[in-house]
Amino acid sequence: MNFQQLRIVRETVRQDFNLTTVANTLFTSQPGVSKHIKDLEDELGIEIFVRRGKRLLGLTEPGKELLTVVERILLDTQNARSIADHFSSRDSGNLVIATTHTQARYALPDVIKRFKVEYPKIHLVLHQGSPREIAEQLTAGEADIAIATEGLNSVPEVVTFPYYSWHHALIVPTGHPLAQLSAMTLADIADYPIITYHEGFTGRTNIDHSFAEAGLAPDIVLSAIDADVIKTYVDVGLGIGIVASMAYNPERDGNLTRIELPGLFKANTTRLALRRGVYLRSYVYAFIHKLVPELTEENISEILRRPSLASGDFII
C-alpha cells in the first residue's frame, strides 16, 4: 500500500469514477491508475469499486469504509507537512482563500491589505467560484479558508463561523421614479424588470423567499454572479438592480442611485469555513483573526477537533 494508491482511490470518487479524468488530475496514465487500484484490491483482499465491465460505477460496502480511512490518512499526511512547514518557516508560505466575486471584490481588500503588511512573505491565492465550488475546494484540501454567504453551513466536513451581516439594496438609474418614493414596497419593485444575482449566489435565496412570501412573481430579466455586471446592465436601462449594499460606490457608480430597503429582505450572513481536522499554520489564524477578532487560535483549534455531529455556525 502506498500514498499514490490512496490518492487514486480518493480522486476516483471525487471525479465520479471517471479514470481518464483521474489520470489527468494526478498527471499519470489511465492504465497506471487501473493497475494501482487492482494492486491495492489484491493486497487488501477486497473489491473497492463496483464494476460493469471495465467501467467503475461506485463504491462497494468495504470500499465506502476504506474511503473514510483513506481520507483520514491523507489529511493527517497533509497536517504532518503543515506542522513541519510551520516550524521551519513561520513567516512564509501560501494562503489559499476560496470565495465568491462579491467577497473578493468588496469585503476582503482591506483585510488582505492589512494582512500583507504584517506577512509580506505569504503568497495569497484567491480562488473565485460558486458556493458549491468553494465548498468542494475546501473539503478537497485545495483551500485553507472558504468565505461565502450561501452553501457552507450545510457541509458536514467543515465548520463555519459568522463573518459579517449585510443587506440588499436597490440600484436604479439616477432620476428613476422609484427614487422619488418616500416608502417602498416589494410590489413597487416588482412593477419593474429586475436584474439580480444568479440562484445560489449572494443572498438570492432571501430575495426569492421575500417575493414569494408577498405573493409576487418578479420579472427577473437577467441574473449574474457579479454585482459589477448587474450595475452595468442597470446603467444601460435593462432594468432595476438588487445587489449587496456594499457593492455600490458613489464615486464609481455616479450614474446610479442606491436605495436602501429596510425590512423588505432578510439580512444575510457571510460565513467563513474551515475543514474539520486540519492543521492550520499560524498565519492562517492571523488572517482569520483579522476577519473576526473574536476568533482565537485556541477556540478555533478546539472546534476543529470536534466530531462532525451537526452542521451550522459556531459563535465564539
Burial of 134 (0-12, 13-18, 19+ CB in 10 A): buried
3-state secondary structure 131-196: HHHHHHHHHCCCCCEEEECCCCCCCCCEEEEEEEEECEEEEEECCCHHHHCCCCCHHHHHCCCEEE
Angle CA 193–197–198, to nearest 5: 105
Residues 75 and 206 in one domain: no
Residues 136 and 281 in one domain: yes
Query: Is 239 strand, coil or helix?
Result: coil
Which residue, 82, 100, 117, sits at the end of a domain?
Answer: 82
| Best CA proximity match to 163, nearest among 174, 175, 152 | 152
Q: Is residue 246 part of a domain?
A: yes
110-to-105, 120, 247 alpha-carbon distances in Å: 10, 15, 14
Q: Is residue 316 part of a domain?
A: no
| Best CA proximity match to 282, nearest among 270, 296, 292, 271 | 296
Q: Is residue 312 part of a domain?
A: no
Q: How far apart are CA 150 and CA 167, in angstroms?
A: 14
Residues 193 and 70 in one domain: no
Which residue, 82, 104, 119, sits at the end of a domain?
Answer: 82
Query: Is 3 strand, coil or helix?
Result: helix
Assign residue 43 the CATH number of its domain.
Answer: 1.10.10.10
Residues 220 and 258 in one domain: yes
Quote the pLDDT of residue 77. Answer: 78
Residues 216 and 273 in one domain: no
Q: Is residue 26 part of a domain?
A: yes
Indicate the number of domains in the chain. 3
Quote the pLDDT of residue 86. Answer: 59
Residues 132 and 261 in one domain: no
Q: Identify the domain containing residue 256 by its residue range.
A: 168-266
Quote the pLDDT of residue 87. Answer: 61
Residues 258 and 280 in one domain: no
Quote the pLDDT of residue 311. Answer: 46
Quote the pLDDT of residue 310. Answer: 44
The single-letter DSSP state of residue 300 is H
Residues 283 and 227 in one domain: no
Query: Is 222 strand, coil or helix?
Result: strand
Quote the pLDDT of residue 88. Answer: 55
C-alpha cell at 204: 438570492
Q: Is residue 200 part of a domain?
A: yes
Hey, which bits of 23-73 come out as E strands? 49-52, 55-59
C-alpha cell at 243: 445587489
List, in order, residues 6 or more apart from 285 with CB less than 8 Å away. Answer: 296, 297, 300
List, in order, residues 6 or more apart from 221 with CB less than 8 Å away. Answer: 193, 194, 195, 238, 239
Q: How far apart are CA 158 and CA 149, in angstroms?
A: 15
Do 196 and 241 contact (CB within 8 A), yes or no? yes
Q: Is residue 259 part of a domain?
A: yes
Residues 282 and 256 in one domain: no
Q: Is residue 27 part of a domain?
A: yes
Which residue, 82, 114, 144, sits at the end of a domain?
Answer: 82
Residue 250 one-letter amino acid: P
Assign residue 232 the CATH number of its domain.
Answer: 3.40.190.10
Q: Is residue 106 part of a domain?
A: yes
Residues 252 and 188 in one domain: yes
CA 101 to chain centre: 10
Q: How far apart are CA 44 and CA 65, in angstroms?
A: 13
- Annotate 136-149 with b (16+ C-beta within 10 A) or e (fewer): bbbbeeebbbbbbb
Quote the pLDDT of residue 316. Answer: 47
Residues 78 and 95 in one domain: no
- Considering the entire predicted model, what is its pTM? 0.70
Per-residue pLDDT of the chain (316 residues; tens, 9 = 90+): 888 888 888 889 888 899 899 888 888 898 888 888 888 888 888 889 898 888 898 899 888 888 888 877 877 777 677 666 656 555 668 899 999 999 999 999 999 999 999 999 999 999 999 998 999 899 888 899 999 998 888 888 899 999 999 999 999 999 999 999 989 999 999 999 999 999 989 899 999 999 999 999 999 999 999 999 999 999 999 999 999 999 999 999 989 999 999 999 999 999 999 988 887 888 999 999 999 999 888 888 888 877 654 445 555 4
Residues 69 and 198 in one domain: no
Reported as half-sphere exposure (CB side, CA atoms, 13 A), residue 206 has a value of: 21
